[in-house]
Structure 1
Amino acid sequence: MPRRSTSNPRARAATALRRSTGALSTAAMARMEADMAWFRELSAEDRSWVAAIIQAGIKGFVDWYPSDDAAAESGGTALASSVFGAAPRALAGVITLQQTVDLVRLSIEVVESNIDDVLEPEDAPAVHAAVMRYAREVAFATAEVYARAAESRGAWDARLEALVVDAVLRAETDESVLSRASAVGWGASGRVAVVLAAMPERRTETDLFQEVRRRARVAGLDALCAVQGDRLVVLLGGVDDEKRAAEPLVDLVAEGPIVVGPVTEDLSHAYLSARAALSAYRAASGWPEAPRPVRSSDLLPERVLAGDGHARRHLVEEVYVPLLRARGTLIETLAAYFATGSSLEATARALFVHANTVRYRLGQVADATGYTPSVPRDALALQIALVLGRQSGRQPGGEPGPAKL
């Protein structure tokens, strides 16, 4: 038992505690080794960092206790925060929040179980009460450390995510962009589609992005999100059917078109999906009855009328040219069909053939292009393809004439 002193009780107890700091730290480390398996599995460098935290915590209490603020109910927050030094991010990277709580709890238990041996009996009750107050302050400081680290990581991840999405939209997806995508959790190895929709007014970006990612995970997809102006841009990875993949987003966004670009082979080629989606999104007002979501390919007529050169070339190369190569009479039959108001009988009379022949040829048109002449939306795309194909100078047999696109 320490020698009795007549000095101020608080100062007397502080002196005794200060002399015992090393012994208390050693006891705490021994308990860590014995009771916490995760501590034994840390590297030597990480163990030394955790040991420094324990020592700083005990020393922090010894320094805190004699101050006038120690008796105050809310005092000591700044001193308790100093336990974690100048590198809270390093601490958050070494051990989890739960492990830090266990560390703090063990340190306090060690101090409480040993202070009776180093203090005068009449000083012990006050120190025990102070330990509990200090433990509360350290707990608040611990929560603050991890909250700041999480906030910092979240802000940094959001910036990286926005940079990745922006790079895709600008067709600048180099190796650094792929690395950034991986850093924010993008694990999809292929099949990427880009979705565009209007941002909802009464929902924060953070909340919206979290819900988009959650729904994507449920569907087995990866998702990266960003906002550009009033538009929400979502990159979906692991997509098989682009329209089906975009359906979970319908009730998360504002009224208006939800456009999804075609599926591309990987993130480095996702700019192709983005390019089509952006063009379709700008032209979507021309088809107010469009489904939500709508494929960018379903808006080819509106995109052509809005001046999209890629859409024009698509209709020529993928619709008009296959008709030329399949059979010369298909172009003639299709043109006559539209000229006679889509009447099988009138087309047959104009071509001097049987109506079943017209019906057969129109079936061939659908097989060659994927567009059915009797469906109004398909008929619009076919009519525009006919006009553009003639303007392109393409000749029967698929040979190009003078380029006019």
Structure 2
Amino acid sequence: MSPAPQLPPAVHVSEEALQVLKSHSGTLTTAVNAHLESTLSWYRQLSTDERASLRLIAQRGIQGLAHWLEHPESRSLPLVNELLGPAPTELMRSISLQRALQLIRTIVESVEQHLPGLVPEPDQRVMLEGVLRYSREVAFAIADVYARAAESRGAWDSRLEALLVDAVLRGEPEEQITSRAAAVGWNSSTSVVVVVGAAPDQADAVFMSHLRRQCVRFASDAVVGVQGDRLVLFLGGVTDLKEGFERILSRFGSGHVVYSRTEGTIAQAHRCAQAAYSGYTAANAWTEAPQPVAAEDLLPERALAGDATAKEVLRSSIFAPLEEAGNGLLETATSYINGGHSLEATARGLFVHPNTVRYRLRRICDITGWDPMLPRDAYVLQTALAVGRLF
């Protein structure tokens, strides 16, 4: 429970001025309400109940001022606690912090206009000083309430985001994922990027909030979650992923950062998330992996780590197309890789001209997207050939 608001010692006014303030609290409240109606356009658009709630706040504030002036030795005042008890809850449902402070300012303006004409002249200046000091403390106290409420909402939002991340990783039904995505305000209908890396040591609510703000500078939607020692990001509507990584890469802990992209909705992002997760586990096997690295570039390492999806991708996107294409492409790939990447040795082994080998290697690259003449691509092809023959 938060401590009671603390006020500075009150100014001293005469007993007569104090009685005038008490007896005219209703008059001042009415004047304040009229001033709010004439000054604040958004106040006039509120419902009757909302305006009544705000009038109650003004009335409590005037009564709190009288109590504070009557008990100058007290620094923790029950009426101020009452003002900051149920009233801010009602206040936050109706208006933003900016408007709440406008409300306080307008109330003070009204009291400044009407109060001096009610109290004896010797007390007018002191009374105005008291109004200003008291209203300053009330404004600070209300701002503090809004800040604490924002922190609570931030913690709750982080919990909702963590549940969404968990639901996608587990592959829960699409309806449930869609519902959780709506709860966190996810709007992107297509194209999701999943990023997985090491979580930093201080991955608290403040860190998550800052990272989320950085992400929404290059993505329409951003969900941040921590799964164990891993930091997981879901990004929707990414405009420039390269620029985005320049902004956020330093926010991850030490180690590889792996990403995967899908053109489907977030409810269909399970395979994409699993690919990024699996790639993060297997990335250490590729010592020269770039930073960040795409999960699709880690297919051999993921397959060796036991990722069934990676094995299926290697078989269906490399082995099967080469097998179906015929014309000796599968045999050429096998002979070229096993023959130490030598055109002449491959040509001799297949009893063909070296130019034929060159042509077939280009066809292999065209069909699979992987160039057998590049060391890394050749390793991917070699793994795909082995996986294809096993499954």
TM-score of the alignment, normalized to the shorter chain, above 0.5? yes
What root-mean-square deviation, in Å, do the aligned CA atoms of Structure 1 and Structure 2 show? 2.4
Q: Hey, what does 1:397 align to over in structure 2?
A: none
Instruction: State the 1:60 CA deviation.
Output: 2.0
Q: Are 2:15 and 1:16 aligned?
A: no
Aligned counterparts, 1:264-283, within 5 A? 264-283=263-282
Distance 1:162 1:77 in 2: 41
Q: Hey, what does 2:138 align to over in structure 1?
A: 138
Cα pair 2:196 2:233 within 8 Å, conserved: yes
Distance 2:243 2:344 in 1: 39
The amino acid of 1:60's aligned partner reads G
In the alignment, structure 1 segments of 5+ residues that lack a partner are: 1-7, 393-405
Cα pair 2:88 2:142 within 8 Å, conserved: no
Distance 1:256 1:9 in 2: 67
Cα pair 1:220 1:238 within 8 Å, conserved: yes
Q: Hey, what does 1:313 align to over in structure 2?
A: 312
Aligned counterparts, 1:178-193, within 5 A? 178-193=178-193
Cα pair 2:222 2:234 within 8 Å, conserved: yes
Instruction: State the 1:84 CA deviation.
Output: 3.8
Cα pair 1:242 1:295 within 8 Å, conserved: no
- Give 3-state SS (helix, strand or coil) of 2:253's partner: coil
Instruction: State the 1:105 CA deviation.
Output: 2.2
Deviations 1:157-192 (A, max 9, x none): 121122212222222264454344334343222100
In the alignment, structure 2 segments of 5+ residues that lack a partner are: 1-11
The amino acid of 1:367's aligned partner reads D
Instruction: State the 1:242 CA deviation.
Output: 6.2
Cα pair 1:69 1:76 within 8 Å, conserved: no
- Give 3-state SS (helix, strand or coil) of 1:116's partner: coil
Instruction: State the 1:266 CA deviation.
Output: 0.9
- Give 3-state SS (helix, strand or coil) of 1:235's partner: strand
Distance 1:160 1:341 in 2: 53
The amino acid of 2:23's aligned partner reads R
The amino acid of 1:368's aligned partner reads I
Instruction: State the 1:138 CA deviation.
Output: 1.1
The amino acid of 2:146's aligned partner reads Y
* CA shift in 2, pair 1:363/1:131, >3 Å: same
Deviations 1:195-214 (A, max 9, x none): 0111233x553444344333
* CA shift in 2, pair 1:369/1:209, >3 Å: same
Deviations 1:330-373 (A, max 9, x none): 11111111222111111111111111111111111111111111
Distance 2:13 2:77 in 1: 23
Deviations 1:40-79 (A, max 9, x none): 1222232222222112211222233212436xxxx24653
Instruction: State the 1:383 CA deviation.
Output: 1.1
- Give 3-state SS (helix, strand or coil) of 1:234's partner: strand
Aligned counterparts, 1:4-403, within 5 A? 10-69=14-73, 75-76=75-76, 79-172=79-172, 174-201=174-201, 203-239=202-238, 246-392=245-391
Distance 1:133 1:262 in 2: 56
Instruction: State the 1:386 CA deviation.
Output: 1.3
Deviations 1:239-293 (A, max 9, x none): 4786675454322222311100232411101111110111111111101210011
Deviates more, 1:118-127 or 1:329-338: 118-127
Deviates more, 1:293-302 or 1:119-128: 119-128
* CA shift in 2, pair 1:242/1:35, >3 Å: closer
Distance 1:241 1:154 in 2: 27
Distance 1:301 1:365 in 2: 18
The amino acid of 1:130's aligned partner reads G
Distance 1:249 1:114 in 2: 55
Instruction: State the 1:87 CA deviation.
Output: 4.6
State, as a whole percentage, how many aligned pairs show the same letter. 44
Deviates more, 1:128-137 or 1:27-36: 128-137
Instruction: State the 1:216 CA deviation.
Output: 2.7
